[in-house]
């Protein structure tokens, strides 16, 4: 028994003084020189939306009270008088722009945006290229055969990955009427069942704002009803490798949210021809605008020339 006390103290001392394992070498080896591709539309008034939703409104924020010597109640904040650009957004829905769609969007027992765990932050990215099929048929519906065709070329889809369906539909983003009008590409229920029940993916993503084009949204209802999420309105999948990349997942976290603006970024190997490196865009300091920011008629701040 006398030997146990020194050994226990020695073990405790080792726990206190030992250095924890570090992920910094992994960052330097795999991320510092990687290529980064934004898969996210910047959102603004006039973007595609379901016809039943109201219009996104953007304007200068206005003071709620009088602040003597600084700003009056109802006065808009501005650079000239207050040294600050502050913007107000009136969202008619949480189904806006590039988004992360939680089960609560279609399931009263489903998880909301604020229930997503932090563990979804970085995952393997699979891109199934359907662009040729969509060019021939804008209403092409992704099938089990499309998924298995990817696996024939690249191997089994990794469990826990994000699967994005490339259709190049995002190139119509600036034509909202056509973007949301049928026919547009969809995902079949059988393909979603294969991905979730057999391959155990995290979620899938698509460039249109709907999973499928059936009258009763059978694929989306199954997806959300079985506690799976999805990404909608993604872009730039034509700049991402079909296999071998990762995806970074960020999103707003409104409590109880039934949808959420999201930021998806693909991380590709350094040899990939598309994307931006950290050396080219370090993020600090950020580049200045080409001219002072002014509000347009839609309320969005943009360079004045």
Cα separations in angstroms, 181 against 151, 173, 207, 208: 31, 12, 14, 10
pLDDT tens digits, one per residue of 21-42:
999 999 999 999 999 999 999 9
Residues 87, 214 share a domain? no
Residues 88, 211 share a domain? no
Q: Among 37, 40, 48, which residue's Cα sits nearest to residue 261? A: 40
Please give the pLDDT value at position 20.
85
Classify strands 122-129 and 245-251 as parallel, antiparallel or unpaired.
Answer: antiparallel
Mean pLDDT of the chain, nearest integer: 94
Give the span between the Cα atoms of 224 and 76, in whole angstroms: 41
Give the span between the Cα atoms of 117 and 99, in whole angstroms: 17
Residues 209, 123 share a domain? yes
Give the span between the Cα atoms of 253 and 205, in whole angstroms: 19
∠ CA(36), CA(38), CA(41), 5° rounding? 175
Quote the tokens at residue 155: 């191997």
Please give the pLDDT value at position 227.
98
Residues 207, 239 share a domain? yes
Mean pLDDT in residue range 65-91: 97
The residue whose two tokens read 């997503």 is 116
Please give the pLDDT value at position 19.
79
Read off the pTM: 0.92
Burial of 125 (0-12, 13-18, 19+ CB in 10 A): buried
pLDDT tens digits, one per residue of 198-207:
999 999 999 9
* Residue 278 located in a structural domain: no
Other CB atoms within 10 Å distance of the CB of residue 63: 16
Give the span between the Cα atoms of 140 and 132, in whole angstroms: 10
Residues 109, 82 share a domain? no
* Residue 18 located in a structural domain: no
Q: Nearest 5°: phi and psi at 58?
A: -130, 135
Looking at residue 121, which CATH number applies to its domain?
Answer: 3.50.30.50
DSSP 87-112: EEEE-S-S--SSEEE-GGGT-TTS--
Q: In the structure, what pLDDT confidence band is assigned to residue 16 with cuts at 50, 70 and 90?
A: low
Quote the tokens at residue 44: 């603004």
SS3 219: helix
pLDDT tens digits, one per residue of 132-152:
999 999 999 999 999 999 999
What is the number of domains present in the chain?
2
Give the DSSP H or E segment for 9: helix 4-17
Residues 126, 103 share a domain? yes
* Residue 231 located in a structural domain: yes
What 8-state DSSP symbol labels residue 52? Answer: T
Q: Which domain holds residue 154?
A: 36-46+95-268
Residues 100, 80 share a domain? no
Burial of 173 (0-12, 13-18, 19+ CB in 10 A): middle
* Residue 296 located in a structural domain: no
* Residue 297 located in a structural domain: no
Please give the pLDDT value at position 305.
79
* Residue 177 located in a structural domain: yes
Other CB atoms within 10 Å distance of the CB of residue 99: 28
Q: In the structure, what pLDDT confidence band is assigned to residue 1 with cuts at 50, 70 and 90?
A: very low
Residues 175, 225 share a domain? yes
Residues 131, 244 share a domain? yes
Mean pLDDT in residue range 227-239: 98
């Amino acid at each position: 028994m006398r030997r146990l006390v020194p050994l226990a103290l020695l073990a405790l001392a080792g726990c206190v003084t030992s250095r924890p394992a570090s992920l910094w070498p992994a960052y330097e080896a795999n991320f510092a020189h990687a290529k980064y591709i934004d898969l996210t539309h910047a959102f603004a008034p006039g973007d595609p939306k379901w016809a039943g939703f109201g219009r996104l409104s953007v304007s200068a924020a206005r003071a709620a009270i009088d602040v003597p010597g600084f700003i009056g109640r109802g006065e808009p904040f501005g650079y000239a008088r207050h040294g600050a650009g502050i913007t107000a957004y009136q969202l008619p829905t949480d189904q806006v722009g590039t988004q992360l769609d939680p089960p609560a969007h279609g399931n009263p027992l489903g998880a909301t945006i604020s229930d997503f765990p932090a563990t979804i932050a970085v995952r393997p990215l699979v891109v199934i290229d359907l662009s040729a099929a969509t060019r021939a048929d804008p209403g092409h519906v992704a099938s089990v055969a499309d998924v298995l065709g990817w696996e024939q070329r690249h191997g089994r889809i990794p469990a826990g990955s994000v699967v994005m369906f490339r259709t190049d539909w995002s190139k119509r983003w600036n034509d909202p009427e056509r973007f949301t009008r049928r026919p547009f590409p969809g995902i079949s229920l059988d393909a979603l069942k294969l991905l979730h029940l057999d391959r155990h993916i995290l979620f899938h993503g698509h460039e249109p704002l709907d999973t499928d084009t059936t009258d009763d949204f059978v694929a989306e209802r199954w997806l959300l009803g079985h506690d799976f999420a999805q990404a909608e309105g993604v872009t730039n999948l034509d700049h991402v490798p079909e296999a071998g990349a990762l995806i970074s997942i960020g999103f707003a976290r409104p409590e109880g949210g039934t949808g959420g603006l999201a930021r998806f970024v693909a991380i590709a190997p350094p040899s990939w021809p598309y994307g931006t490196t950290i050396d080219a865009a370090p993020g600090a300091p950020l580049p200045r605008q080409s001219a002072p920011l002014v509000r347009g008629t839609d309320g969005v701040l943009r360079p004045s020339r």
